[in-house]
Amino acid sequence: MTTELLEALRKISGPTNVLCDGDLSAWELDWRKRARGKALAVVRPANTQEVAAVVKACAAAGVSLVAQGGNTGLVGGSTPDASGTQVVLSLQRMNAVRQLDAANLSMTVEAGCILQALQQHAENEGFLFPLSLGAEGSCTIGGNLATNAGGTQVVRYGNTRELCLGLEVVTAQGEIWQGLSGLRKDNTGYDLRDLFIGSEGTLGIITAATMKLYPMPAAQLTAWAAVPSMAHAVTLLGLAHQHLGAGLTGFEVMGQFALSLVAKHFPQLRVPFLEAPAAPPGRPEQGTAPSVGSVGTPFCVLLENSDHESEAHAREQLERLLEAAFEQGCVSDAVVAESLTQAHQLWHVRESITLAQAEEGLNIKHDISIAVSRIPEFVQVTDALLEQAIPGVRLVNFGHLGDGNLHYNVQAPADGDAKAFLREREEEVNTIVYDSVARFDGSISAEHGVGSLKLDKLEHHKSPVALGMMRAIKQALDPHKLMNPGRVLRM
């Protein structure tokens, strides 16, 4: 049966696009190096018809499929399991821009387009495609849609869901659903597009999408500010909304320890207002440990104002905001980028935190959201709980504060063995953090999704009614459970 299936796949996509031997770690190992699977084969179809044929062949053989874009997902959802029986369906070769409709402010693109290439394509045509995240050089728009990715421009433009006008999907039965009309209004029943967005490959394969475009702003100005505490960062966010209105495009917060990791692992980068040197080797003395993420310790904020009038106007707005912030004591130091190059350098520091944390060693990620107003108290309470449970624990706290989304990550104590720490303490750490998130009415996945890493936690934190409806949808669309089984939902 397996031989027959592989033969059928070779006929569909050509023998060079069905990979079974050699080093397949680019498809089998996830970005965080936390999930190594074994694929029966990696198949790389060239177009939607081939995807449909691959899905039909796999369905006929009872073989399950894992859709994969750039394999940059952070929740263990894009790689096969260890059974050696799953086919990885890579969308990498489907990377054409099918159409750019200037009057409709939209572009229709294939799922395997790299996000950065789409930003560039839009810019070349005089438009802005605002989705932006640290992995943009390798993640795909199909993956962005399948995870409903957030990133750094959500305050103004929304998550990937808000940027999508329509989808083309190959269903679990191998049928092609054409939903690429590009309409901004269509109330003809259930919204199928929204079902597939954020479904992480568990309902069907996204093969193309129509995405919104925006006029290019006249100016994009970036400021970096030191703030005395998370509470002050929230006050600054309120002021930024007041002063910048719709111009407020991004608002990121970064703890000092997160920034110290960037300085440590990428010494060529200049990190403004860094107070402490990189974490000292060895566990800090009890009682004198810098409370790295807590409410009374400093953070930095990176914020962007984009403006359709002029650079002078945007700068004036930003300077007024910072004046008000200094007066209220919520900013202790600030710098406004003088040029786009300088702005990119500041953003590069922010985007390097994930890589710096990976360099520091295996770690535990918590991609959580909580009402912005409650974040300072959440951080204070949860920092204290973790520090009490694990003396010397290192908290790498940063994220999209403008959206109430923190990456409240945990690194083993400095003198500890990271692998052993994860093996022995991850469950306890997750329980402390997620129970705290629940007490603050938050979500255990703000933007990365559920994948395999949060499967069990979702069962615990989502209401039985919600889980029941989700299972009914999965059962209806993928009754044989061949689409990325064991991810998002346990059936």
Orientation of helix 353-360 relative to helix 256-265, angle to 10°? 70
Contact 35, 29 (CB under 8 A): yes
Phi, psi angles (nearest 5°) of residue 237:
-60, -45
Max intra-chain CA distance, the chain:
73
- Kindly list the distances between the CA atom of residue 145 and the CA atoms of 104, 226, 314, 432, in Å, as whole numbers in the listed order: 20, 34, 32, 30
Q: Is 128 in the site for ligand FAD (CB under 6 A)?
A: no
The single-letter DSSP state of residue 454 is T
Sequence-ordered list of residues with C-beta below 8 angstroms from that of 238, at least 6 positions apart, any chain: none
Interface residue with ligand FAD among 48, 106, 140, 153 (CB under 6 A) is: 140
Q: Tell which residue, 409, 404, 439, has the closest CA to residue 421.
A: 409
Q: Is 144 in the site for ligand FAD (CB under 6 A)?
A: yes
205 binds, among ligand 2HG, ligand FAD, none (CB under 5 to 8 A by kind): ligand FAD
Closest by CA position to 166, among listed 128, 127, 195: 195
The one of ligand FAD, ligand 2HG, none whose footprint includes residue 43, by CB under 5 to 8 A per kind, is none
In this complex, which beta carbon is closest to ligand FAD, that of residue 111 or of residue 433? 111
Q: Which residue is nearest to ligand FAD (CB)?
A: 143
Q: Is 376 in the site for ligand FAD (CB under 6 A)?
A: no
Answer for which of 107, 139, 346, 410 binds ligand FAD (CB under 6 A) is 139
Binding mask 179-198 for ligand FAD (x = CB under 6 A): --------------------
Identify each DSSP E strand in 294-414 by its residue range. 299-307, 333-336, 363-364, 367-369, 394-400, 405-411
Binding map of ligand FAD across residues 437-476, x = CB under 6 A, - = no contact: ----------xx--x-------------------------
Residues in the chain: 491
Q: Are 346 and 222 in contact (CB under 8 A)?
A: yes
Q: Taking the complex as a whole, how short is the minimal distance between the CB of residue 407 and ligand 2HG, in angstroms?
A: 4
First to last CA, the chain: 26
State the nearest-atom distance from the C-beta of 365 to ligand 2HG, in Å.
4
| Residue 135 within binding range of ligand FAD, rule CB under 6 A | yes
CA distance 160 to 260: 31
301: left (phi over 0), alpha (psi -120 to 50) or beta: beta
Task: Transcribe 100-141 into DSSP letters.
Answer: EETTTTEEEEETT-BHHHHHHHHHHTTEE-----TTTTT-BH
Q: Does the footprint of ligand FAD cover residue 150 (CB under 6 A)?
A: yes
Residue 151 touches ligand FAD, criterion: CB under 6 A: yes
Do β-strands 106-110 and 18-19 pair in parallel, antiparallel, or remain unpaired?
unpaired
Residue 212 interacts, among ligand 2HG, ligand FAD, none and using kind-specific CB cut-offs from 5 to 8 Å, with none
Q: Answer with the entry of ligand FAD, ligand 2HG, none that 407 interacts with (C-beta below 5 to 8 A by kind).
A: ligand 2HG
Give yes or no for residue 37 binding ligand FAD (CB under 6 A).
Answer: no
91 binds ligand FAD (CB under 6 A): yes
Interacting residue ranges for ligand 2HG, rule: CB under 6 A: 134, 354, 365, 399, 407, 409
Partner from ligand FAD, ligand 2HG, none contacting 139, C-beta within 5 to 8 A by type: ligand FAD
C-alpha distances in angstroms, 160 versus 115, 130, 207? Answer: 11, 9, 16
Shortest CB 179 distance to ligand 2HG, Å: 28
Stretch that binds ligand FAD, among 66-74, 180-188, 330-338, 420-428 (CB under 6 A): 66-74
Residue among 134 and 182 whose Cβ is closer to ligand FAD: 134
* Residue labelled with tokens 């669309």: 477
In the complex, least distance from residue 271 CB atom to ligand FAD, rounded to whole angstroms: 17
Which 278-317 residues touch ligand FAD, going by CB under 6 A?
Answer: none
Contacts of ligand FAD in 338-367 (CB under 6 A): 354
Q: Which residues bind ligand FAD (CB under 6 A)?
A: 31, 66-74, 77-78, 91, 111, 133-135, 139-140, 142-144, 146-147, 149-151, 200-201, 205-206, 354, 447-448, 451, 484, 487
